[in-house]
Structure 1
Amino acid sequence: MYACGKYCSPRRCGFYIIAFLICQLVFIVIFMRSDRYDDIYASELLAYKNVSYLDWRAFISQTPETTEDYYQYNIELSNALGLIRKLPVTRHSSCTTRNPILPPPLEANVSVVISFHNEARSMLLRTIVSLLLRTPEDHLHELILVDDGSQRDVTLLDDLKRWMGGVFGSRQRLGLIFLRNEERMGMIWSRNRGASLASGRYVLFLDSHCEVNDGWLEPLLERLAGNANLAVSPLLDPIDPTTLSYRKGNEMLKGGFDWSLHFHWLKRQLASGERLEMPYQSPAFAGGVLMMSRDWFLRLGSFNPYLKIWGGESIELAIKLWLCGGQIEIVPCSRIGHIFRRRHAFDFPSQFDQQLSPAQEIYLHNSKIIAESWLDEYKNMFYALRPAARRIPLEHTYDELQRMRTERQCHPFDWYLRHVSPELRMHFDELSATGTLRNEDRCVHARHKDSQLILASCYLSDITQWSLLRQSGQLSTHREFCLTVGFGMRIALEPCGRNETARRSQRWMRLGTRLMHAETHLCLDNPLKERLEMSTCRSHAVSQSFQFALEMEGRT
């Protein structure tokens, strides 16, 4: 009351309180009725498309009871959202004012392959229905659904087949193919299976937790009609896994990857005269959504069949496309919403190495295939950053991996660095050395919980990878912390300095296998087990010998 009396009259404060309560009540009513609104929107849209409406609640009521953590998105909210919802317009206004020039449907029909494993019914259904209702019927040839051995919901595919038969059964032109793997084969194998059975001119791979937006297909078909060896991706609008809010994607990002063969979004620069809504080339694409000629996909060998379960397939296909005569474009006038989950919502089968998790083993296995197949001499960068990959066995020879490159007369990987991904080449050129930093049988490691520097087994799955920068002399981790010598000759990790003054305490020089701090002229030393300190440089001192996994230039 004191605060109210000080800043406004009691009557005015009372008005604000009542207004606030009314707003809260309105918000609650809207939220409680949102599923009803979505049902009305869905029924009206279905009627407009001459499709029957069946209550979808009976279908999703069979969803097994699980926690939100199981799906890695808000399952309760997904169930309440409705069959299909109205999405915001996220593409540029110019995309809606021009009509794409499309070839006849028989020359540009599309087969859509959706592979899923333990997906929630409401999310899967929203993906399918948004696709069918927002895609021109003449160009949508068939939908191929592959249940990759879902475990808790074994009747999902049969129930889905019955529901879709009742709702979309009147669509004579639409082919529906339902496949189930009795045991889990993985997304890569399942997508290849779907593509091999497809009969459309183009094949679209779509994740099972997406929502397609209006007018998504036409801009992609227009680009593909002009280049048979092109692969295209819509610009992905992120759907928040917690709130399921649909947000506008960023046109200033392109797909890429690092030397550990992890996918990353990279910033791009607009060329002179280039507009945001124009299609642009990308070194790679996110694996969830891409479209290309089915014939071209099969001639490239599909997704590499030696890859296991999930992971790396989009990078492998991207490199293969670029090096063997293809191109990749992101088309901002095409928008599809996609949930980027914070971590895997499924388990990986156990492999052979008990020191690694199954997910890490699968990643290293698939990445090793990519490195051995495509990176040429640059594969040493991958092994320097991921030494545990050397222990991962492959079930085929390296000659097999190279055969297709020879048959198709593909470019060497250096061509990719020069013409497609200068960022990756730049990162290579700016390093003097990289990888693990070994002293005898142990490696310098920054603990994740407190960044304390220790010497630990070089075979830890999360062993620190170091990079000695050529220009600045800084010794950096991948998290952009640099090895610093501070007050009292104390060694620590600090954020890497951006100016000359900040960099001075972080500059190191190579003297043979020693690391000399440029400012103090002292050397990194390991006089006692798991202890690092600075001491006078001594030639041939074993305790001062630190070797990187990969050195790019000779040591002084």
Structure 2
Amino acid sequence: MRGATSQCVLLGSLACGLWLALLLAYLLRNLGTEQLAGEDPGTVWLLGDRRPAPHPAAWLPAPQERFGRPREEEELDEERLEMSPGNKRILYVPSDLNDEALTFGFNVTKSRVLGDEREVSDTRNEMCRKKRYPYHLPMASVVICFHNEELHALLRTVSSVIARTPAHLLEEIILVDDYSDLSKMVTKEPGSHLRGSPAMAGGIFAINRRYFSDIGQYDRGMDLWGGENVELSLRVWMCGGRLYVVPCSRVGHIAKQPVQYKQALLQAMDRNTVRLVHVWLDGHKEQFFRRRPDLKSIAYGNVTERFELRRQLGCRSFQWYLDTVYPELDPYFAERKKERKKER
């Protein structure tokens, strides 16, 4: 009888304690909500900028990253906050951030948060990490061409080259402003940057400067972007040089989505492609025009100088290129594909 009484008392005490804990938690929650109702909204860092959040701080998820910012940048800018239809408390992306994203093609605010330097993971194959290279190698100059580039992205490129290149191998870093027209990018002497040769947008390669000059540099008749990398590759191989891929080398590249002057770029790509077809493909150019008949009649400029360069360099035929360098390429694949379709 005494044991049963003790058990009932113990269970009753536990039940009372549980109800008391639940009541205390409820009171504390209501007290916190009342305090929040009379305070300013909490703050959350959005892409590096510390701005008031449109909901109480108690609802905020834990931030993944935080970056220090000057005090003046922590002030609230009312113009950057817009309320959605129905007065829903949603933070919209300000119009100036949208404009920057369209101009540069990537998240500019995140780029500024990253700053001028960033740590990047080593994406090389494990065998590449174990590879050892000679200490005494020729010095090299790094040429970086840019057009209306976001400043922090450009500076990260420069700092990455400096941080990851042995000092005794780096001769210099040359920045070539290729006709930037944004107000923040225009230099005091806009006529001082290099002109005459199109830049290889997104193209990264290493070449001996004297050799590059001897084989004719870029085709000056090409415009803007596109085709010059194929033309240079054919010229190197067919004129006695060799082209190598270095699989243990990794270079970062920002793939931009919005492309300004898209129509002009497409026209330049077509024109540049036709130039290299007429100069380097010999009799196989007819195979190309069967695949792209729309390009057969477009103007491609005077290529007499390029034919003379090919003669002076003693370059081989495109058939030699197909037989020796790229035997896997089937120049008649398109025709056979059409014939198979007709048979069906």
Q: Same fold (TM over 0.5)?
A: yes
Contact 1:146 1:181 (8 Å CA) reproduced: no
**Given residue 76 of structure 1, which amino acid in structure 2 is its aligned partner?**
T
Contact 2:97 2:108 (8 Å CA) reproduced: no
Which residue number corresponds to residue 381 of structure 1? 287
Deviations 1:307-359 (A, max 9, x none): 11111111110011111111211112211111233453x326xxxxxxxx422
Residues 65-144 of structure 1: pairs in structure 2 closer than 5 A: 66-103=99-136, 108-144=138-174
Residues 64-463 of structure 1: pairs in structure 2 closer than 5 A: 66-103=99-136, 108-155=138-185, 157=187, 180-181=190-191, 189=197, 191=199, 288-342=203-257, 344=259, 346-347=260-261, 357-396=263-302, 398-425=303-330, 428-432=331-335
Name the SS of the counterpart of 1:388 in structure 2.
helix
Name the SS of the counterpart of 2:322 in structure 1.
helix
Cα distance in 2, alignment partners of residues 148 and 406 from structure 1: 31
Contact 1:115 1:190 (8 Å CA) reproduced: no
Name the SS of the counterpart of 1:144 in structure 2.
strand
Q: Rate the CA distance shift 1:360–1:99 in 2: closer, same or farther, 3 A.
A: closer
Name the SS of the counterpart of 2:136 in structure 1.
coil
Contact 1:35 1:80 (8 Å CA) reproduced: no
Deviations 1:343-384 (A, max 9, x none): 53x326xxxxxxxx4223211211111001100011112222
Cα distance in 2, alignment partners of residues 140 and 384 from structure 1: 47
Cα distance in 2, alignment partners of residues 322 and 366 from structure 1: 19
Contact 1:150 1:184 (8 Å CA) reproduced: no
Cα distance in 1, alignment partners of residues 241 and 287 from structure 2: 25
Q: Rate the CA distance shift 1:380–1:145 in 2: closer, same or farther, 3 A.
A: same
Contact 2:176 2:194 (8 Å CA) reproduced: no
When the two structures are aligned, how many residues end up with a matched partner? 263
Which residue number corresponds to residue 438 of structure 1? none
Which residue number corresponds to residue 33 of structure 1? 67
Question: Which of these residues, 334, 338, 343, is aligned with residue 468 of structure 1?
Answer: 338
**Given residue 327 of structure 1, which amino acid in structure 2 is its aligned partner?**
R
Deviations 1:263-300 (A, max 9, x none): xxxxxxxxxxxxxxxxxxxxxxxx51000111111111
Name the SS of the counterpart of 1:103 in structure 2.
coil
Which residue number corresponds to residue 235 of structure 1? none
Q: Which runs of 5+ in 1 are unaligned?
A: 1-21, 37-62, 159-178, 192-204, 208-286, 349-356, 434-466, 475-507, 510-517, 519-556
Percent sequence identity over aligned pairs? 29
Q: Rate the CA distance shift 1:333–1:431 in 2: closer, same or farther, 3 A.
A: closer
**Given residue 139 of structure 2, which amino acid in structure 1 is its aligned partner?**
N
Q: Rate the CA distance shift 1:35–1:95 in 2: closer, same or farther, 3 A.
A: farther
User: Which structure's CA Rg is the greater one?
Assistant: 2
Deviations 1:469-492 (A, max 9, x none): 4xxx12xxxxxxxxxxxxxxxxxx
Cα distance in 1, alignment partners of residues 179 and 248 from structure 2: 35
Contact 1:148 1:180 (8 Å CA) reproduced: no
Name the SS of the counterpart of 1:85 in structure 2.
coil
Contact 1:64 1:152 (8 Å CA) reproduced: no
Name the SS of the counterpart of 1:468 in structure 2.
helix
Identify the range of structure 1 (92-101 vs 63-72) with the bigger mean alpha-carbon deviation.
Answer: 63-72
More helix by share: 2
**Given residue 322 of structure 2, which amino acid in structure 1 is its aligned partner?**
L
Name the SS of the counterpart of 2:152 in structure 1.
helix
Q: Rate the CA distance shift 1:379–1:393 in 2: closer, same or farther, 3 A.
A: same
CA displacement at 1:117 relative to structure 2: 0.9
Contact 1:147 1:181 (8 Å CA) reproduced: no
Deviations 1:62-106 (A, max 9, x none): x998331221222121111122111111112333334311435xx
More strand by share: 1
**TM-score with structure 1 length normalisation?**
0.43
**TM-score with structure 2 length normalisation?**
0.67
Contact 2:105 2:257 (8 Å CA) reproduced: yes
Name the SS of the counterpart of 1:111 in structure 2.
strand
